[in-house]
Amino acid sequence: MIPTWAQIGYLIAAVCFIVALKGLSSPKSARSGNLLGAAGAVLAVIITFVAYKPDHLAAILVALAIGTIGGVLGSRRVQMTHMPQLVALFNGVGGGAAALVALMELGEIPQDATVPAIATAFTILVGAISFSGSIVTFAKLQELMTTRPVTFPGLPVLFIASILGSLVLAGFLISDPRVWVGILLCLVGLAVGVMLVLPVGGADVPIVISLLNAFTGLTVAAGGYVLGNTLLLIAGTLVGAAGALLTKMMADAMGRSVFNILFGAVRGGSTLGGGVASERPVISGGAEDVAILLGYANKVIIVPGYGLAVAQAQHTLRELVEELQGRGVKVDYAIHPVAGRMPGHMNVLLAEAQVPYDQLREMEEINSDFKSTDVVLVVGANDVVNPAARNTPSAPIYGMPILNADEAQRVIFLKRSMRPGFAGIENELLYDARTTLLFGDAKDSLTKLLAALKNI
């Protein structure tokens, strides 16, 4: 029986989680929300140690210390460009941990306890799917394997057979909770997770990470029911609900359904293009030419993308914008919902450079402004301004709402090369007569632009 004081402490921790989630809805309160959520987690851990007085305390403390050190070092050293991979790893560890806890609890379930057995089977299966799927998403984003969809003959049949097999094993486990059945269910779940993510192209992997995050939340909630821990139930439900909503919002931003994102390649489509750069001629210029276009414009819109994060050029970009504003140029940042590799990637990146939040304008708000814009400066983005999303039904991004950069008077792309974007398809806007390309590393190009602008 959990002591009353511990239940009150868990309630306080749960309130911390709820308020923290609300805080994360705004950049202004995100930092304090994060700290509040972390404080709630620390409080919950301390209460658990004091209230339950666990056995094998020394081993638990050693494991906790190793995990803490690993988490701190990993989080501090990871670059912003690799943050989605870190999220995928953390998410997979959560799902795997929930599955292992459920396996260990199998021996404690009475034969006639149907509901706990259902919750245990669910936790084992979905936790295993989340773990293996998250590992594959990490490998794709880290480019340890191809980012293209991976399919093979018979994949749909094998996938459906695995799903049916997992349901049969779950039924056996519910009727007779045996450890060996749970282990088999876990192994099948691992296979399902791999086959679920393999056919997903690189451009859609962040959405799958969000979906798997929802899976992990649901497994934690189910694990909370199995363990009789209300706090786990609340925390898991929050994560599951938030992950599901985020997945739906990201899919809507891509203009596609979650089913199409997961199984488009299996049905004969593709979630990634060919990835071959064209040899057609383009108009390129130097830093001085681009600086003149920017310096004598009345209105400029900046479109940031993943290349900005890779080059760590956000601070230089802010300096360039401040120089333009000092000359009387109106400048805004256009933020696409799926720019970068995770939701809010550009918001976080620019906030790190102390860019005022009121300069960051979401796609729905700013799209009508492009027609009256003199120059659009695209820094490391590609797919989010690719007109193929509107004009080419065969393109993997067709139907995705994009920023209307092609409606501006002039467009400037800062690019390393003519290599296609993450979706692997060409951008016809690069070959438009109104488009000028400035080749090179984004940070180096922006530094040259800033110097040239100051000399005008």
Which residues are designated catalytic?
383
At CA 263, angle to CA 259 and CA 266, rounded to 5? Answer: 160
β-partners of residue 378 are: 303, 413
CA distance 154 to 93: 30
In terms of Cβ atoms closer than 10 Å to its own Cβ (0-12, 13-18, 19+), residue 107 is exposed
Which residues face 303 on adjacent strands? 378
The CA-atom distances, in angstroms, between 447 and each of 182, 237, 291, 321 are 58, 47, 11, 12
Question: What are the two backbone dihedrals, phi and then psi, of residue 286, each rounded to the nearest 5 degrees?
Answer: -100, 175
Half-sphere exposure of 210 (CA within 13 A, CB side): 23
SS3 429: helix
SS3 per residue for 207-275 = HHHHHHHHHHHHHHHHHHHHHCCHHHHHHHHHHHHHHHHHHHHHHHHHCCCHHHHHHCCCCCCCCCCCC
CA distance 40 to 12: 7
Quick one: which of 131, 134, 150 has its CA closest to 142?
134
Sign of the C-alpha dihedral computed for residues 379, 382, 388 and 393 taken in this order:
negative
> What count of Cα atoms within 13 Å lies in the side-chain half-sphere of residue 429?
30
Tokens representing residue 139 in the block: 């490998």
One-letter amino acid for residue 354 of the chain? Q
Pairing of strands 435-439, 299-304: unpaired
Which among 127, 109, 107 is positioned nearest to 118, based on CA atoms?
Answer: 109
Find where tokens 């439900």 sit: 237
Determine the residue type at 190: L
Question: Rounded to an integer, what distance in angstroms lies between the CA atom of residue 435 and that of residue 412?
Answer: 6
Q: Which phi and psi (to 5°) does residue 302 adopt?
A: -95, 130
